[in-house]
Amino acid sequence: NSELFTLTYGALVTQLCKDYENDEDVNKQLDKMGYNIGVRLIEDFLARSNVGRCHDFRETADVIAKIAFKMYLGITPSITNWSPGGDEFSLILENNPLVDFVELPDNHSTLIYSNLLCGVLRGALEMVQMAVDVKFVQDTLKGDSVTEIRMKFIRRIEDNLPAGEE
């Protein structure tokens, strides 16, 4: 049951809206907090899921949608809209548990309410040497029929070991 989480997340977003002047700053802050969470969450995820190294971005997409989202949010987004080059895809969330009972007030029309999730994905993937760009491109809170998170592969991060160590 994720209700307590949903409401606690709402309290966090509400607090940030009080703290920051404009939605853009709140969006940034949520992304940053999410990044810090992702960096810590990945360890738990690898330990529990027994998932090994992904060989390509398609495999990564599957692991995120079918294992990670299921594990932490109890939903399984569908994977769509692959770019021809295979470096971009979308996660479609029919239901976003974070926004149950949420309505954006008129004066927060540019708030990306669930932006924490983008940060979580970015932070977690960075820990497995994958730099990605993550953003919401559709959101039921904005009147769209589904919520869509777009993920773009940027580059593989090389392990830069200091000279002399291996």
Q: Footprint of a copy of itself on this chain (CB under 8 A)? A: 1-5, 7-9, 11-12, 15-16, 19, 33, 36-37, 40-41, 44, 48, 71-73, 101, 116, 120
Shortest Å, Cβ 112 to a copy of itself: 16
With b meaning 16 or more CB within 10 Å and e meaning fewer, what string describes 128-166?
bebebebebebbbbeeeebbbbbbebeeeeeeeeeeeee
| Closer by beta carbon to a copy of itself, 79 or else 102 | 102
Tell me the C-alpha distance between 107 and 139, whole Å.
17
Q: Please choose, from the candidates 19, 41, 46, 40, the residue with its C-alpha nearest in 3D space to the C-alpha of residue 30.
A: 19
Alpha helices for the chain (secondary structure H): 3-19, 23-49, 57-62, 69-73, 116-127
| Closer by beta carbon to a copy of itself, 11 or else 161 | 11
Shortest Å, Cβ 72 to a copy of itself: 4
| Closer by beta carbon to a copy of itself, 70 or else 150 | 70
Shortest Å, Cβ 34 to a copy of itself: 8
Shortest Å, Cβ 141 to a copy of itself: 18
| Closer by beta carbon to a copy of itself, 16 or else 132 | 16
DSSP assignment letter at 65: I
| Closer by beta carbon to a copy of itself, 72 or else 82 | 72
CB atoms within 10 A of CB 21: 8
